[in-house]
Amino acid sequence: MSTDFQSWVANCQARLESVLKELLPRADTAPQRLHEAMRYAVLDGGKRVRPLLAFASGEIAGADVERMNIAAAAIELIHAYSLVHDDMPCMDNDELRRGKPTCHVQYDEATALLVGDSLQSLAFQLLAEHRLSNDEQSRMEMIRLLAFASGSRGMAGGQAFDLANVGVTLTLPELEFMHIHKTGALIRAAIQLGALCGSDKHGERLDTDQLDKLDHFGKLIGLAFQVVDDVLDCEADTATLGKTAGKDEVNDKPTYVSLLGLQGARDMAKQLHREALQSLAVFGAAAIRLRELADFIVMRKY
Amino acid sequence: MSTDFQSWVANCQARLESVLKELLPRADTAPQRLHEAMRYAVLDGGKRVRPLLAFASGEIAGADVERMNIAAAAIELIHAYSLVHDDMPCMDNDELRRGKPTCHVQYDEATALLVGDSLQSLAFQLLAEHRLSNDEQSRMEMIRLLAFASGSRGMAGGQAFDLANVGVTLTLPELEFMHIHKTGALIRAAIQLGALCGSDKHGERLDTDQLDKLDHFGKLIGLAFQVVDDVLDCEADTATLGKTAGKDEVNDKPTYVSLLGLQGARDMAKQLHREALQSLAVFGAAAIRLRELADFIVMRKY
């Protein structure tokens, strides 16, 4: 990573952290335990990949920082809620997340359930409460996109498909279907929401072709993200990863590595990376952060 | 109940059922098991009290039926999601709901978790996707209201407060705080959303004073609803109630009956009922359905 990119990332992460701190209900507001647990689940953790993608996409569209902050926060709340629920005993039963005890371990299962539920509500509340675009159509479109990406035909649906296929040998298209939903949908939504925040800066939003190009980039980089995740889960040890490594194999989950082998999965990530960058060509220099994020996603070691 | 009211209720319920059937993802769409379980959790069950309140309130505001249908469906999806999650083993651990096995019993816990999550997303998707008012401000306000009512400072917060106080003797204000959040918030939101659907029929929405009056009605009738619930849980048998009766006492949960005695709780319901009707006086004959619903809520036997 270039020093310039590193400082952009650090700056975005710090800004998002402070925005999330401000937007989450205070831990001394009733019900205190729930609010404390919501803050525990969201703050001080993760690479914030989806918010970074939203910021990078918003910059292409000339979006206002304050607006991108809210959109990025809403997306991260959805992501955080999904992690809390995914970690629960009835799902992946994980005890470690981002190097800390998972929410149901630190608190209890009932609290973790309500934390996830409440974070989801809060995401939509934020989008409805803040004027993220002067164009009302874009505002509604953001809510619709995020809701669709979160639901049964997006992230939650991918999770259901995943659960239904533990121990089953999937074909490559089936595995792709799962990931396009499970992680891809929210990554794509992050990129679209970022872009829609810029919709009034120059009197209009990015044109449909530009939004499509960004969405295609999002689809490819979302898949690449998952392929790399599978590779890392196979390679890395628990300490580097900040979560329990080797879980996929133990749980007999279908992965790109189990389907293509380690080298095959690495090659696929490279190919997706190349294609993703191609779809940014139309934006020229304005897409520098998205390009750097694509590099980061594919080359990361944790 | 008058025959006229009975047929209005039956008509609303049938309409809502058909709207929900249409709006929920089809059971043959992937992921099939999740979609089948979502339909199981929502369709063919319940009195649909919140939708009925939304319809009754919308009628006062002269709202279009198609619009009220969507708003009512979104509210019912939030309610259904909360029931699915509340019934799970880490919460109330109920096996019977609306006379049928609860979602996690019929399917499994992981599916029930994702059903609840997906129903919540779908509720916001519907509100963002359909043009429920010509006034953009009212549309956003509906989403904001429903999100706030669902979240940690609304329904989910009330649930957390409830869990935190099992076995604890609450004061009346504390019990009221809990119920104003746990059941009251969504009931109030239903009434507000119904009214906001009417915002363009006569060129403007109900004025602030009228919305406040409706909200006050909602607050009182929401409390009355809970007081009656506690009375019924104490009196009724499982068959009539369609869910496991006497659970509150077994779980040592604080209720109006445990705090005020059976007669005290009955008196409180009557008092709330009277005050609720008073706050409808300003609407005259237009509020007939809301009045009848208030009667129904207080006098119901199940």
- Report the mean per-residue pLDDT for chain B: 92
Within 10 angstroms of residue B299's Cβ, the number of other Cβ atoms is 12
Confidence of residue B145 (pLDDT cuts 50, 70, 90): very high
- Domains in chain B (CATH in brackets) are 3-299 (1.10.600.10)
Q: Is A110 exposed, middle or buried (0-12, 13-18, 19+ CB in 10 A)?
A: buried
The span from the CA of A76 to the CA of A46, in Å, is 10
Distances (CA, A) of A135 to A122, B70, B136, B196: 22, 23, 10, 21
Calculate how close chain A gets to B83, using CA atoms only, in Å.
12
pLDDT at B201: 45
The DSSP bridge pattern shows strands B100-101 and A96-97 to be unpaired
pLDDT at B200: 56
Calculate how close chain B gets to A276, using CA atoms only, in Å.
27
Q: Is B122 on the interface with A (CB under 8 A)?
A: yes
Confidence of residue B282 (pLDDT cuts 50, 70, 90): very high
The span from the CA of B253 to the CA of B170, in Å, is 10
Residue B224 predicted with pLDDT over 50: yes
Contacts of A115 (CB under 8 A, 6+ apart): A34, A37, A38, A41, A81, A84, A103, A107
Q: Is A136 on the interface with B (CB under 8 A)?
A: yes
pLDDT at A201: 45
Going by the DSSP 8-state scheme, the letter that residue B98 receives in this structure is: T
The two tokens of residue B121 are 């997303």
Instruction: Give the distance, in angstroms, between the CA of residue B121 and the centroid of all CA atoms in the same chain.
Output: 17
Residue B250 predicted with pLDDT over 70: no
The span from the CA of B260 to the CA of B270, in Å, is 14
Distances (CA, A) of B136 to A199, B70, B194: 17, 16, 15
The continuous run of DSSP H or E covering A104 comes out as: helix A103-106
Confidence of residue B111 (pLDDT cuts 50, 70, 90): very high
pLDDT at B206: 86
| Residues in chain A with pLDDT values less than 50 | 201-202
Interface test mutation site (partner A, options B40, B108, B114, B176, max chain A beta carbons within 10 A): B114
pLDDT at A20: 98
Closest CA to B183 of B267, B288, B104, B297: B297
When comparing pLDDT for B197 and B169, which is higher?
Answer: B197
User: What is the full DSSP assignment across B19-73?
Assistant: HHHHHSPPTTSSSHHHHHHHHHHHSS-S--HHHHHHHHHHHHTT--HHHHHHHHH
One-letter amino acid identity for A176? E
- B198 and B58 in contact (C-beta within 8 Å)? yes
- Identify which of A114, A125, A163 has the shortest CB distance to residue B160: A114
- From chain B, the residues in CB contact with A163 under 8 A are 110-111, 114
Interface test mutation site (partner A, options B36, B81, B105, B118, max chain A beta carbons within 10 A): B118
pTM: 0.94
Lowest-confidence segment of A17-21, B233-237, B261-265 by average pLDDT: B233-237
Unique residue bearing structure tokens 């959805």: A78
A151/B121 touch (CB, cutoff 8 Å), yes or no:
yes
Unique residue bearing structure tokens 């709006």: B23
Q: Is B110 on the interface with A (CB under 8 A)?
A: yes
Helix ranges (H only) for chain B are 3-23, 32-42, 49-60, 65-86, 103-106, 109-129, 136-150, 155-164, 172-179, 185-197, 208-235, 238-241, 247-250, 256-278, 288-299
Peptide bond into A25 cis (omega under 30): no
Residues A59-93 as b/e (b if ≥16 CB within 10 A, e otherwise) read bbbebeeebbbbbbbbbbbbbbbbbbbbbbbbbbe
pLDDT at A301: 79
Within 10 angstroms of residue A7's Cβ, the number of other Cβ atoms is 11
- From chain A, the residues in CB contact with B108 under 8 A are 90
Instruction: List residues bridging with A96 in a β-sheet.
Output: A101
